[in-house]
Amino acid sequence: MAVLVLFEFAVFGGLLLGLYYAMFAMGLNVVFGAQRIVNLAHGDLVVLGGYAAWELYETWHISPIVAVVIVLPFAIALGFLVQHFLTPRLMRSADPETLSLILFFGLSQIIEALATIVFGPNERSLPTNAIPVSSLHLLGESYPGIWWVSALVAIPVLGVFLWLLYRTPFGLRVRAVMSSVTEAATAGVNASRVSGLFFGIGFGLAVVAGTVGIFIFGGVSPTAGVALTITAFAIIVFGSLGNPWGTIVAAIIFGVVTQLAQVYLPSWSNLVPYALVILTMLLRPQGLLGRRQRVA
C-alpha cells in the first residue's frame, strides 16, 4: 500500500513539475528554433530571473508572481538586443554553429561573474510565505503549494506562447523562418526582425521560469546556470529540437521520471537528464516527436 501511495505522489507531483519544466525548457527550444542556436547561457538567464524575484521581494516586498510581469518585458528586450547585435555576425561567419557555442558560453560566464559580484557567491532563497499558498491535498496526498502554483503560472504562459506561434500572423512568419530563413526572406518576411522577437520571447520564458524556479530549486546561486542548461537541453533533445509540442510532452515525462527516481532511487535521480540525452541519441536521434528532417 505504501509503495502505491508513493507511486501516486511521484506521478501526480511529476505532472505538476513537468508543466513547470515545459516552460523552463521552452525558452531554450525557442532560441534554437529562431536561428538554430543552442543558447548555452539559458540556465544563467533562469538564474537572473531567480535573482530578480529575490531582489524585488527583499527590497520592495513584491511577490514573485508579480515579478513575472515586471521582468518579462526586460527579458524580451534583452533577447532582442542580443539577437540584433550579435547573431547576424555569427550567421555571416564560416562556422556559425561553433562560434555561437563559444559566444553564448562566454555570455554564460559573464552573467555568472556579474551575479557573483552583485549578489555574492552564496545561495539566496526566499521564505515560503513569499507566495502565501497552502499545500494541495488530493487523493489523500499533500503536494507543496509551489508545485501547483508553478503549474498555474506555466499553463497560461505556454498557452499564450502556443497561441502566438500557431494562431497569429506573427506565428506564421516565425514558423516560416524556422523552416527556412532563405525561403521566408524570399516570400517577403523580415527574417531578422522575426528572429529577434522570437529570440526575445525565448529569453523571456527563461527569466520567467527563474522567478518561480527560486522555489522549485530551493534557491538561486551564481553557479547554478550550467546544471540548469543541461537539464533544459536534455528535455528539448528528448522532445525534439525545434518542436514546441515535443518540449511539452518531454518535460512532463521528465518531471514524472525525475520524481519516480527521487522516490525510489534518490541517489541516482541527478543522472536522469544525462540518461535521457544518451538514450535519445542512441534510440531516437530525431527526438520523441521529431522527424528525420525537422520542420516547424
* Residue 48 pLDDT > 90: yes
Burial of 263 (0-12, 13-18, 19+ CB in 10 A): middle
Alpha-carbon gap, residue 111 to 102, rounded angstroms = 14
Checking if the pLDDT of 245 tops 60, the result is yes
Structure-model confidence comparison of residues 208 and 98, the more confident one? 208
What's the average model confidence in pLDDT over 68-81? 94
Element at 138 (helix H, strand E): strand 136-138
Q: How far apart are CA 278 and CA 280, in angstroms?
A: 5
CA distance 14 to 213: 15
pLDDT band at 180 (very low <50, low <70, confident <90, very high): confident
In angstroms, the first-to-last Cα distance of the chain is 45
* CATH number for the domain whose boundaries are 7-120+143-283: 1.10.3470
Q: Specify which residues 143 forms β-bridges with.
A: 136
Mean pLDDT score of the chain: 90
Mean pLDDT of 43-69: 95
Residue 148 backbone dihedrals phi, psi, to 5 degrees: -75, -25
- Selection from 129, 144, 153, 135 nearest residue 20 by Cα: 153
Q: What is the DSSP letter of 291?
A: -
What's the pLDDT at 293?
46
Cα Rg of the chain, angstroms: 19
Give the tens place of pLDDT for each residue, 113-151: 999 999 999 999 999 889 888 888 877 778 899 999 999
How far is it, in rounded angstroms, from Cα 49 to Cα 139? 34
pLDDT at 295 over 80: no
Chain center to CA of 200: 13
- Residue 59: burial class (beta carbons within 10 Å; 0-12, 13-18, 19+): exposed
How far is it, in rounded angstroms, from Cα 86 to Cα 60? 34
Chain-centre distance of CA 189, in angstroms? Answer: 27
| Percent of the residues in the chain that have a pLDDT greater than 70, as a whole number | 96
Q: What is the pLDDT of residue 1?
A: 52
Q: What is the mean pLDDT of residues 177-183?
A: 82
Residue 196, φ and ψ in degrees, nearest 5: -65, -45
| Per-residue confidence band for 291, with pLDDT thresholds at 50, 70 and 90 | low
In whole angstroms, what is the distance from residue 238 CA to residue 292 CA? 14
Residue 75's pLDDT is what? 96
Residue 250's pLDDT is what? 94
Who has greater pLDDT, 56 or 275? 56
DSSP label at 220? Answer: B
Task: Specify whether the CB–CB gap between 10 and 256 falls below 8 A.
Answer: yes
Output the nine-digit C-alpha cell for 191.
527574417
pLDDT of residue 85 exceeding 60, the answer is: yes
pTM for the whole structure: 0.93
Confidence of residue 2 (pLDDT cuts 50, 70, 90): low
Residue 294 has pLDDT above 60, yes or no: no
Q: What is the pLDDT of residue 181?
A: 79
The answer on pLDDT for 24 being more than 80 is yes
Confidence band, pLDDT 50/70/90 cuts, at residue 87: confident
Q: Can you give the residue ranges of every domain in the chain?
A: 7-120+143-283
| Average pLDDT rounded to a whole number, residues 179-184 | 81
DSSP category for residue 135: P
Quick one: which of 225, 200, 201 has its CA closest to 213? 225
